[in-house]
Copies of this chain bind each other. A is one copy, B any other.
Amino acid sequence: MVQDPVTAQSETLRIDGFDDSSSIAQRRLEQQFLGIPSRESAREHLRRLTAEPHVAGTKEGYETALYVRDEIRKYGLAAELKEYDVLLPYPLRPTVVELLAPRRQRLALKEDVLTEDPSSAHARIIPLFNGYSASGDVTGQIVYVNYGLPGDYEALSKLGVSVKGKIALARYGNSFRGVKAKVAEDQGALGLLIYSDPADDGYVQGDVYPKGPWRPASSAQRGSVQYIFQYPGDPLTPGQPSIPGVKRLPIGEATNLTRIPVQPLSYGDARKLLEPLRGPVRPKGFQGGLPFAYHVGGTDDVRVRLNTAMDYQIRKIWNVIARIEGQVENDRWVILGNHRDAWTFGAVDPSSGSTAMLEVARGFGQLLKQGWKPRRTILLCSWDGEEYGLLGSTEWAEENAVELKTKAVAYLNMDSAVSGPNFAAASVPSLWNLIRAVAHEVVDPGSRKTVFQQWQDRASAERHEAPGDQALDSPQTAKISPLGSGSDYTPFLQHLGIPSLDLSFGGDYGVYHSAFDSFYWMEHFGDPTFAYHAAAAQAWGMVALRLADAPALPLYYSDYAAQVREFFDDSMKAAKQRGLASGLDQKPMLQALEDFSREAARLERTRQEVLSQLDADKRDLTNKMKLRQINDALIGAERALTDSRGLRGRPWYKHQIYAPGFYTGYAALPLPDFRQALDDRNEAEAREALARVVQAIKRATAALKL
């Protein structure tokens, strides 16, 4: 492989968290590892994993579990299935959406069979439906509600239009679909249709499949409408694992389920409802990409029947858990996780990630054969049921909560690992440094620069395109996002307080959750050479290797303090806009953050000192004990940011800094309770939430003290 100057030079440098001599060994190990993930092998994994649709709980899903387990065992690692019994609905029969006015017409609700893409004709493609939709048979006028967020309903209300007793028609985007269901239900809608507007992932973005990578007219987005912002996992066992002996809620008491029927539509179908709508012309921001002026409806001109029938059953799902025993600290775990279940073939989502995991496993297997003895224990977890609501990961994390709280060093997630060439990362701030370091070590296959360089170049190109001031004010390094939800890091970070990250290579991807997220799509658009699958495995494996082997964990809480300060400043701006700033005392928070930052810097210095002393005298047990203490402090600081009382109205979410927003669902709402209280203009709640954040920061500061 080609090395760029930065990488070549950095080979001679000490690796963060390692002393001089272990750096040399680690460099050698890493070079070995980087040579293993291959395009050919990745291509074959993806071909096998996408051979059939493999929805959670199905026979085909079980077969992918066996494939993953057996491949990992072949590479020499221990791997076992881990089964859970969870509430899992399938459509009893395809949903009926029938136009009653302006004319009688049944919508197709079916994705086209494309001659170019052979798998599009597969008989086992699940019909278009939303996971955890209610069963229902409702008839009513259509109201177009844009993205279906509270602000959209406010705009409609100004026009005198309500969805009460009507059927809401929302477009996908700007929020998790479960949020759209929750808001529609709260607004009194009888049912909800969610369609993919061509402005968001169809022809407005580019050529549509199979000519291009974007969504064609017949394609719709499946997906869960579970209220994961309340809690993820099996709806009947919040906070508890779905294992024998655990009491299950009656389904009517599960607070993460919608009560209304919800159904996805293609824009081919949606057009038949949207074009004849009357009522006021859409407010600002509501117009999409179909070729007419959108109206909001809410009149008898368009009336629709929506009839869904879901088969709610307790069904089995299967995680695969592989394990490499740590040789020095087997009671400290580095966990890699990726889900395996897909709505259809899931070439991108999630099989590109599963492929990367298999290539990591193959790499680790070869290192083990060559004598590698990881310092800490490594777990590779292939989750089932993620699409329905992070079922496999949540149940497993809940089952192993006590052990994880003590032992987990970090949780490293990959979901849709590859849909294009653009590296992206989300993580807690303590892991920023490590992600950037690893991005310096992996080569971007397209440009032959380092992934880091390519990532930076793209970021500065985007800054150049941004209007005037932003271009000047933007940070000089590529951004690492906060973690929201929508993938399996949620139980680890937000329920248990384990430092987490999520990595991916993104691109033009318009077939999300459709029958066209297929091997053909990947070979023609996402990653024709499979080089990015290999790069994803390299990056992911490298992060794991460093966390598993570093004598001193490379976690940085000074970055964490700076990031929380930024979140706080943003929130105070929002408070100012809402006229709430004067009632909030900023001092305790600013003081807590200053202390946190100072303590973090002190621990970092100590960590460096001990590391150098380690280098000087390998046999000194005092220093080794000291390092264990330091590492535990670094792991413990993240745990200390959780609050056992949980967030307001959603006790499952314990983390005080990171949670999905109530009204975003996917995207993080940093300082969630504080920010939500500001958005609700509730000063008393804002004060209380801020006080809890201050307490959390103080706990984390205490955790860093040796």
A interface list, Cβ under 8 A from B:
198, 203-208, 212, 214, 281, 284, 287, 289-293, 465, 468-469, 471-472, 570, 573-574, 576-577
Contacts and interface: CB of A to CB of B under 8 A. Distances in A.
Contact of A293 (B204, B570, B577): B204
Contacts of A205: 287, 293
Contacts of A204: 287, 293
B577 A471 contact: yes
Nearest to A207: B293
B198 A291 contact: yes
Nearest to A287: B204
Contacts of A292: 203
Contacts of A574: 468
22 contacts: A198-B291, A203-B292, A204-B287, A204-B293, A205-B287, A205-B293, A206-B281, A207-B281, A208-B293, A212-B281, A212-B293, A214-B293, A284-B465, A289-B289, A290-B291, A291-B291, A468-B574, A468-B577, A469-B573, A472-B573, A472-B576, A472-B577
A465 B155 CA distance: 12
Determine how many copies of this chain the complex contains: 2
Given A291-B291, A471-B577, A472-B573, 4 more contacts: A204-B287, A214-B293, A289-B289, A468-B573
Contacts of A287: 204-205
A210 to B, nearest CB: 13
A292 B289 CA distance: 9
Contacts of A469: 573
The 3 closest A-B pairs by CB, nearest first: A291-B291, A207-B293, A203-B293
A107 B701 CA distance: 73
A131 to B, nearest CB: 30
Contacts of A472: 573, 576-577
A118 B289 CA distance: 32
A576 B208 CA distance: 41
A469 B574 CA distance: 9
A340 to B, nearest CB: 33
- A214, A293, A574: which has the most chain B beta carbons within 10 Å? A293
A470 to B, nearest CB: 10
- A570, A576, A577: which has the most chain B beta carbons within 10 Å? A577
A291 B290 CA distance: 6
- A204, A207, A465: which has the most chain B beta carbons within 10 Å? A204
Nearest to A208: B293
A291 B275 CA distance: 14
Contacts of A290: 291
Contacts of A573: 468-469, 472
A198 B287 CA distance: 12
A146 to B, nearest CB: 14
